[in-house]
Amino acid sequence: MTVEANKQTLGFQTEVKHLLHLMIHSLYSNKEIFLRELISNASDAADKLRFEALANDSLYAGDSELKIRVDFDETQKTITISDNGIGMTRAEVQDHIGTIAKSGTKQFFERLTGDQAKDSELIGQFGVGFYSAFIVADKVTLTTRKAGETEAVRWESAGEGDYTIESVDKPGRGTEIVLHMKDGEEEFLNSWRLRTIIKKFSDHISLPIIMSKEVPAEKDDEGNETSPASLEDETVNSASALWTQSKDSISAEEYNEFYKHVAHDFQDPLTHAHSRVEGTNEYSLLLYVPSRAPFDMWDRDAKHGVKLYIKKIFITDDAEQLMPRFLRFVRGVIDADSLPLNVSREILQQSKQISAIKTGAVKKVLGMLEDLAENDAEKYQTFWEQFGNVIKEGPIEDHKNKDRVAKLLRFASTHTDDKTQSVSLDDYISRMKEGQEKIYYVTADSFAAAKNSPHLEIFRKKGIEVLLLSDRIDEWLVSSLTDYDDKHLQSIAKGDLDLDKFDSEEEKQHQEEVSKDFEAVLKQIQDVLTDKVSEVRVSHRLTDSPACLVTGVYDMSLNMERIMKEAGQSLNMMGMGGSKPIFEINPDHAIVKALKNEQDDARFADISQILFDQAILSEGGQLDNPSAFVHKLNGLLQSLLV
Ligand code: ADP
């Protein structure tokens, strides 16, 4: 096959076209990031080669000094970034450069609004990578040869609908990317400008970045040239792994830039932790909390963000063993000194050292979050808004650190009555009433439903704070986190509330009288609702609403039942649910009082049924038969109005 015959023209995946268009239009004020992205890729490619070469030294083919070169040509208007890293095969070029393989990409693009300001925020979440070349270039030529292979390929595109790919010759392994700069981007064809960008963005990466430097001609005293002008290679960056340096020698900006490199993000992180552990199991860690959740945080298959190095050699970024799932937003580097370099996945999975490092790393991250909570409330709030729902998996996943994680949790509460989740369990406890032993909460499927739950009425009246839980994960959270600081977490919609201790003697007496007074009515309602409720009783929970539903202490909450039903789980098959709720009526409510005196049995039944359906609705639930409800209600209205 001739080289020509090898040339193929292929179309970009639709998503790539969108991404390119969006990127070019939303990142123009941030153009220079193209260099960081391409250098990061080159550095990753070097990392991968080093790792592969651990098992197969011949991949180096005599060239083991890994480096990146940046050159430019003013007359050709090109910038060239080349590396002698792992390189790519033809198939890899096609898979990685013509397509976006990340799962969740489609959903990501569905979220774009067309509003450029908003979309450029989103694109930051997505990460731009290689395609950022097209911010400054109107044609990109990538030539690459995989380590250990002889065939090289060239990929070329103007960043519009398609690209070409063909076999070519390339003397050494690695990847060379030539950017044909757009008109108007000449500012980058300048040695000083490029050096400044490299220093700013890539100073801290461990690989040397080389640029040519002009050495002027040397002349003797008479002005005769003794040696002609020449070019000399110069390492532009400091080329030492940032995490190996001492904390005080690193500036805040260097930490931030390094974060952007490891995390492929372009916003500054919220906070970081950097430390070195000495002893038999020695390791360094440099971990970051991003200021924004990545687009694929809820994707179960998304890669974890902590990179494992051993003695400064990159091993894997798929190190699930290093961070638990509830800290999956953490980014950064862990470098273990005492592990052998020839580790396999299996060894990693079973390594006691790795699991000790994980324990240490989790402690570090929790410490970093505790610091943030204590010292920078505003940043902590940002953190909570982005990652709160992930952290809530903590008490479920990590029993050992349950209390520490619980301290980090924030909730909405009746104290503020605001949607913002800002109340900690400690805040709650500090406001508990004298004699109050439990931490009260209500769950619902929206904040509005939680805040307006009829169950809250008595708590509001007595001035007892209640946490308002309306995230899906909350039901699971409270089923794991049953106690905090020796205080039981109690759903206000379950079982009996022992609030009578806060009642006055008068109130107690009133309740007793009422209970007796209502015995017959309760029985009558029970007969009407017999297949729907397990019991009908006089409520101590309500002040304004006529009725509410309560579940048994050990029963699933009604909200949880709804969630399970929506998820298509059959409750009976799971041996759960199916237990009927308790129906509580408010004896002081005008409707209930009137019901007590209702003589017409049919009307009595209709009103009881309506009260029951209302109780479901007011908790945000759904009726099995809404039209029957409407029909009954209209019947009543008609009898009033006509
Ligand atoms: P990301 O780096 O986020 O995966 P990119 O679009 O920047 O996304 O790159 C896509 C893939 O292309 C990389 O994951 C890598 O496999 C490959 N790639 C990019 N640049 C290089 C390079 N210089 N050498 C080898 N492979 C590369």
Whether ligand 1 lies within 6 angstroms of the CB of 83 is answered as yes
Higher pLDDT: 578 or 165? It is: 165
Whether ligand 1 lies within 6 angstroms of the CB of 127 is answered as yes
CATH code, domain carrying 625 = 1.20.120.790
Ligand 1 centre to CA of 395 (Å) is 36
Ligand 1 centre to CA of 84 (Å) is 14
Which amino acid makes up residue 244? T
**pLDDT class for 547, splitting at 50, 70, 90?**
very high
Averaged pLDDT of the chain: 89
Which amino acid makes up residue 396? I
Size (the chain), residues: 642
Q: Are residues 522 and 487 in the same domain?
A: no
Taking 3-state DSSP, the helix, strand and coil percentages for the chain, each rounded to the nearest 5, stand at 45, 20, 35
User: Does the structure show a pLDDT above 80 at 324?
Assistant: yes
User: Does the structure show a pLDDT above 60 at 516?
Assistant: yes
Instruction: Give the H/E segment covering residue 612.
Output: helix 601-618
Give the nearest ligand 1 atom to 102 CA.
4
Q: Are residues 420 and 327 in the same domain?
A: no
* Cα distances (angstroms) measured from residue 289 to each of 139, 264, 402: 36, 13, 20
**Domain end call among 358, 388, 418:** 388
Full residue range of the structural domain in which residue 79 is found = 4-214+231-235
**Domain end call among 388, 423, 450:** 388
Whether ligand 1 lies within 6 angstroms of the CB of 96 is answered as yes
Instruction: Report the candidate in 178, 170, 147 with the shortest Cα–Cα distance to residue 63.
Output: 147
Residue with CA at minimum distance from ligand 1 atom 3: 129
Instruction: Report the candidate in 547, 552, 550, 518 with the shortest Cα–Cα distance to residue 612.
Output: 547
Overall number of domains in the chain: 4
**pLDDT class for 11, splitting at 50, 70, 90?**
confident
Q: Are residues 453 and 587 in the same domain?
A: no
Taking only the tens place, the pLDDT of each residue in 19-52 is: 788 777 777 777 888 998 899 999 999 999 999 9
Q: Are residues 297 and 435 in the same domain?
A: no
Which of 40, 47, 84, 96 to mutate to test ligand 1, by most ligand atoms within 8 A of the CB atom?
Answer: 96
Instruction: Report the candidate in 466, 634, 623 with the shortest Cα–Cα distance to residue 558.
Output: 623
Q: Are residues 438 and 476 in the same domain?
A: yes
Whether ligand 1 lies within 6 angstroms of the CB of 589 is answered as no
Q: Are residues 62 and 167 in the same domain?
A: yes
pLDDT (mean) for 628-635: 93
CA 271 and chain centroid, separation:
15
What is the C-alpha to C-alpha distance for residues 249 and 515, in angstroms, rounded to an integer? 74
Taking only the tens place, the pLDDT of each residue in 73-98 is: 999 999 999 999 999 999 999 888 87
Whether ligand 1 lies within 6 angstroms of the CB of 129 is answered as yes
| Any domain includes 336 | yes
What is the C-alpha to C-alpha distance for residues 474 and 15, in angstroms, rounded to an integer? 35
| Any domain includes 219 | no
Taking only the tens place, the pLDDT of each residue in 163-208 is: 999 999 999 999 999 999 999 999 999 999 999 999 888 888 889 9
pLDDT value of position 80 = 98
Q: Are residues 201 and 280 in the same domain?
A: no
Whether ligand 1 lies within 6 angstroms of the CB of 67 is answered as no
DSSP-derived secondary structure for 256-284: HHHHHHHHT--S--SEEEEEEE-SSS-EE
Whether ligand 1 lies within 6 angstroms of the CB of 502 is answered as no
Q: What are phi and psi of 279, to 5 degrees?
A: 125, -155
Ligand 1 centre to CA of 99 (Å) is 11
| Any domain includes 256 | no
Q: Are 191 and 210 in contact (CB under 8 A)?
A: no
| Any domain includes 9 | yes
Q: Are residues 376 and 436 in the same domain?
A: no
